[in-house]
Homo-oligomer: A and B are copies of this chain.
């Protein structure tokens, strides 16, 4: 059984900020990045939490992320922005872009931004939640390293390209969708591979482009660039709708990378030791553009209740709406959060270089 280590969120935050400042980030950018990572852990999205810190530190060391650059505004209209991240850290680029979108949407009713030359930005939903906190509709998506095979193809050409969209509610939790457009992320294959379990045939395909149930084989192929990879939502064939997931993931590439004239498909993380050129698409919509905040919040509450109160499948006692499980986890993990022991050890390994130590805490 996997061991888990409880840490205080305040201490984890200080630790992550201190590490990032030591790698060359400004304190402000380090604080933003730490908040994005820790929010993921609090929401039980561990794959995108502080477990990623090592990749960011390594990315800064190897030149994939430039720690001390600032974003540039390439183009601006009353309702849109094109941003160049200049190879910087993804979280502060996306955070500062979303802040501009929200400010512009206050006056102009909405604002969408296409961002190029950024890096991995953590959970897509974080930026959507920034809009939700301002009682706006939020939108966030990003392209990513090529891991997903197009329908009828056999090579990984597109990223797991997540889509997040959120709407403000009144008494219910906000509606917050945050989903990869692949059936599952790579991390799920790693879990099944470790356990030696076979995977559903809609998750991944082999080097011939045929659906595979062997996670270990698929991961080996991916590492050795032999072909195959993850499958789009809906699986590897048109019969089960795989072309729809493929289409959605292309939409994310187009909005993020084509509207900004940034990198797409194979060109994301295309050059070793150079900035990853990740692209995002972010937006905020003022509810006053439509029926207004009050009415929209009430409509959403009723809709959520309609869905949740509907009859449950045999053996089930609860229907969820998007984001609900994560909001509940976030509330639960207010003061402390538990980390996998291997993540705790890795964090302290990173810390050693800078004389920083993360302590184990008592469970609340």
Interface residue ranges of A1-32 to B (CB < 8 Å): none
Query: How far is B240's CA from A257's CA once the two chains are assembled, in angstroms?
Result: 28
**Of the candidates B234, B259, B311, B319, which one forms a contact with A233 in the assembled complex, judged by CB atoms under 8 Å apart?**
B234
Q: Which of A296-304, A336-344, A347-355 contacts B (4 or more CB under 8 A)?
A: A296-304
Q: Which of A40-48, A59-67, A260-268 contacts B (4 or more CB under 8 A)?
A: A260-268
Residues of chain B within 8 A (CB-CB) of A296 are 258-259, 261
B299 touching A261 by the CB < 8 A rule?
A: yes
Q: Which of A49-57, A87-95, A107-115 contacts B (4 or more CB under 8 A)?
A: A107-115
Number of interface residues of A (CB under 8 A): 84
Name the residue in A78, A158, A313 with the highest tally of chain B Cβ atoms < 10 Å from its Cβ. A313
B312 touching A153 by the CB < 8 A rule?
A: yes
Interface of A is mostly: mixed
Residues of chain B within 8 A (CB-CB) of A165 are 251
- The distance from the CB of A85 to the nearest CB of chain B, in whole angstroms, is 15
Closest B residue by C-beta to A306: B265
B258 touching A303 by the CB < 8 A rule?
A: yes
B250 touching A316 by the CB < 8 A rule?
A: no
B313 touching A210 by the CB < 8 A rule?
A: yes
Instruction: Add 16 more A-B contacts to A209-B312, A209-B313 (CB < 8 A).
Output: A75-B291, A79-B79, A79-B289, A80-B109, A152-B316, A153-B307, A183-B241, A202-B241, A208-B314, A210-B314, A233-B234, A233-B244, A247-B322, A257-B299, A259-B287, A265-B307
